[in-house]
């Protein structure tokens, strides 16, 4: 008989051993059982820590007066004079409202982790790696709960009175990204398997970093969970056609956060269609759609590349829509567009449009009669003051415009009023170069996602902190 015995990591005796995938060590049967019991005990301890955290979080949610930052305000009030007490109350209201928002976000992350713990307990399939991940995530949300990154107390020394202010920071702005991208979807050829994409165009990243992709030439919308090895078809995928369960070269996709429905620019079928739990509804028919956007009020924006306009539509209402950009025929004047593609809408309902054939990006303020050139506009080319057939466009909280400069295979950043932009990623010959960049999106950590059309993949460029 072949000698298939190896040394057990615990007892150091030559026995028939079994591997533990988490720590990559080998144990005899008895020691493996003990090893698993130790892991179970650790999971039990982590579960207790999570329960304690939940109790603390609920207490702070119900009693924001007990928060450490609130105590600073109270101490300032005691040491200050009576006439500033009214202002202190105003600060309390601002803080309470902001803290509830902060705790809501933390609670969402906590619920996700709680579900993972339940799954580990039910399936009894977990390793040291899983436990370390749970412990590290608990530390992260504990730190965020006790010391919110979006809030701080700023104290200014003044005669007689040392006044404090509530500082509510904006989401952080990132300036640089690693040039070597990570392929997070596709990249395995251009067929229709679940680990493949075929000419991906528009993309949408949700709060959990799941990627929704308009897999154009496969006539489907695919959702790739964060770190997944393959996608899941959530719309279409029934070959090309015009039936309700079919798509025909979809170009863009967004997710309505209120009802979790998927809205699709079904360009080949000349319609905008909504998918909700595999039920379909045509929102807009007979429209040569390309790009989609939704503002904070729930209004839907659609670019019409043949009518050279962008319209705003009220969801749930049958209407003709309101022109918010272009609509004055095909041309290069400031009140015109020529084949608008992707669009972005900010909190003020300002519309940014990739004006494809005019090789520029236009900014149209709400109710404006004409737009402003904020990127390109100097003819087709590869100089820093030019873009060549722009596609995806997104804007950060500082008003900086990011453009998928598709024919130059790069992503550029432009600041309004500047004569030139700067290359953010791509535009150079490297192993993981872009080929016809299209859709753009950020996640909440500032990582940049680009749909790499001709390479049939989605590239993630991580931010440099």
Decide: 308 and 297 in contact? Cβ < 8 Å: no
Least confident of 26-35, 88-97, 369-378, 436-445: 88-97
Residues 227 and 85 both lie in one domain: no
- 301 and 407 assigned to the same domain: yes
Q: Are residues 141 and 257 in the same domain?
A: no
Kindly state whether residues 158 and 260 are assigned to the same domain. Answer: no
More confident residue, 259 or 366: 366
Q: Which of 133, 168, 203 is where one domain is finished?
A: 168
- In the block, tokens 């919308």 appear at 221
Pick the range with the lowest mean pLDDT from 102-106, 135-139, 149-153, 324-328.
149-153
Looking at the structure, tell me whether residues 160 and 190 fall in a common domain. Answer: no
Q: 245 is in which domain, residue-wise?
A: 177-463
Residue 390 lies in a domain: yes
Q: How confident is the model at residue 436 (pLDDT cuts 50, 70, 90)?
A: confident
In a domain, 262, yes or no: yes
Out of 143, 168, 193, a domain closes at 168
Domain boundary pick from 126, 142, 168 = 168
Task: Determine which of 84-88, 368-372, 396-400 has the lowest per-residue pLDDT on average.
Answer: 84-88
pLDDT at 242 > cutoff 50: yes
Over range 118-138, report the average pLDDT: 83
Higher pLDDT, 150 or 333: 333
Identify whether residues 216 and 290 lie together within a single domain. Answer: yes
Which class for 368: exposed (0-12), middle (13-18), buried (19 or more C-beta within 10 A)?
Answer: middle
Bridge pairing between strands 252-256 and 151-157: unpaired
Nearest CA to 460 out of 211, 199, 109, 172 is that of 211
* pLDDT over 50 at 2, yes or no: no
Return d(Cα 390, Cα 382) in angstroms, integer: 12
Higher pLDDT, 22 or 231: 231
| Whether residue 197 sits in one domain with residue 102 | no
Note whether 253 and 131 are same-domain residues.
Answer: no
From 104-108, 252-256, 285-289, 453-457, the region with the lowest mean pLDDT: 104-108
In a domain, 374, yes or no: yes
Share of the chain above pLDDT 70, in %: 92
Judgement on whether residues 239 and 312 belong to the same structural domain of the protein: yes
DSSP one-letter string for 63-99? -GGGSHHHHHHHHHHHHS-GGGHHHHHHHHHHHHHHH
Residue 27 resides in a domain: no
Mean pLDDT taken over the chain: 87
pLDDT in tens, 394-405: 999 888 999 999
Structure token pair of residue 99:
């803290």
Residue 99 domain flag: yes
Verify that 210 and 81 share a domain, yes or no.
no
Structural domain includes residue 3: no
CA distance 73 to 412: 44
Residues 395 and 342 in one domain: yes
Q: List the beta strands (DSSP E) in 91-181.
A: 151-157, 162-168
Task: Spell 32-66 as b/e; 16+ CB within 10 A means b.
Answer: beebeeebeebbeebbeebeebeeebeebeeebee
Same domain, 127 and 221: no
Per-residue pLDDT reduced to its tens digit, 272-287 = 999 998 899 999 999 9
Tokens describing residue 59: 């207490």
Whether residue 221 lies inside any domain: the answer is yes
Number of domains in the chain: 2
For residue range 23-46, what is the model confidence (pLDDT) as tens digits? Answer: 888 999 999 999 999 999 989 999
Tell me, what CATH number does 382's domain have? 2.120.10.30
Would you say residue 47 lies in a domain? no
pLDDT of 418:
86
Q: What is the DSSP string of 230-292?
A: S-EEEEE-S-B-SSTT-BSS--EEEEETTTTEEEEEEGGGTEEEEEETTEEEEEEES--EEEE
Whole-number pLDDT of residue 34 = 92
Model pLDDT, residue 1 = 37
Using the predicted structure, report yes or no on whether residue 170 has a pLDDT greater than 70: no
pTM of this structure = 0.65
Q: Are 301 and 312 in contact (CB under 8 A)?
A: yes
Q: What residue has token string 């990591």?
A: 9
Q: Where are the beta strands (DSSP E) in 142-219?
A: 151-157, 162-168, 182-186, 200-205, 211-215
On the question of pLDDT at 187 being above 90, the answer is no
pLDDT confidence of 151, banded at 50, 70, 90?
confident
**Which has the minimum average pLDDT: 19-28, 295-304, 326-335?**
19-28
């Amino acid at each position: 008989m072949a000698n298939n015995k190896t040394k057990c990591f615990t007892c150091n005796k030559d026995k028939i051993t079994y591997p533990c995938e988490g720590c990559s060590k080998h144990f005899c049967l008895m020691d493996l059982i003990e090893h698993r019991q130790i892991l179970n005990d650790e999971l039990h301890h982590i579960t207790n820590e999570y329960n304690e955290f939940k109790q603390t979080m609920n207490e702070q949610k119900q009693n924001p007066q007990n928060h450490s930052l609130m105590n600073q305000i109270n101490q300032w009030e005691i040491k200050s004079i009576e006439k500033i007490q009214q202002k202190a109350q105003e600060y309390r209201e601002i803080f309470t409202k902001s803290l509830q928002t902060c705790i809501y976000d933390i609670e969402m992350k906590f619920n996700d982790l709680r579900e993972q713990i339940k799954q580990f307990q039910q399936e009894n399939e977990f390793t040291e790696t899983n436990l370390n991940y749970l412990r590290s995530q608990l530390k992260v949300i504990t730190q965020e709960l006790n010391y919110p990154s979006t809030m701080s107390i700023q104290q200014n020394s003044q005669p007689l009175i040392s006044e404090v202010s509530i500082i509510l920071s904006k989401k952080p702005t990132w300036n640089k990204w690693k040039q070597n991208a990570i392929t997070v979807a596709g990249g395995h050829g251009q067929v229709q398997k679940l680990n493949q994409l075929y000419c991906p165009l528009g993309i949408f990243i949700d709060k959990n970093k799941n990627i929704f992709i308009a897999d154009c030439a496969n006539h489907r919308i695919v959702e790739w969970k964060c770190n997944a090895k393959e996608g899941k078809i959530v719309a279409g995928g029934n070959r090309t056609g015009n039936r309700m369960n079919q798509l025909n070269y979809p170009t863009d996709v967004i997710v309505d956060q209120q009802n979790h429905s998927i809205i699709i620019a079904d360009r080949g079928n000349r319609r905008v269609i909504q998918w909700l739990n595999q039920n379909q509804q045509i929102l807009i028919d007979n429209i040569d759609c390309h790009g989609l956007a939704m503002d904070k009020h729930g209004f839907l924006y659609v670019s019409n590349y043949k009518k050279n306009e962008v319209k705003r539509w009220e969801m749930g209402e049958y209407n003709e829509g309101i022109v918010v950009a272009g609509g004055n025929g095909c041309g290069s004047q400031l009140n015109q567009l020529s084949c608008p593609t992707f669009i972005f809408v900010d909190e003020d309902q300002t519309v940014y449009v990739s004006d494809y054939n005019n090789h520029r990006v236009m900014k149209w303020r709400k109710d404006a009669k004409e737009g402003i050139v904020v990127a390109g506009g100097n003819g087709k080319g590869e100089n820093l003051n030019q873009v060549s057939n722009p596609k995806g466009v997104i804007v950060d909280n500082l008003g900086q415009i990011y453009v998928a400069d598709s024919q130059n295979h790069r992503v550029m950043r432009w600041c309004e009023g500047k004569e030139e932009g700067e290359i953010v990623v791509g535009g150079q010959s490297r192993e993981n170069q872009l080929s016809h960049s299209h859709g753009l999106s950020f996640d909440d950590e500032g990582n940049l996602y680009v749909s790499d059309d001709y390479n049939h993949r989605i590239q993630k460029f991580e931010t440099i902190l």
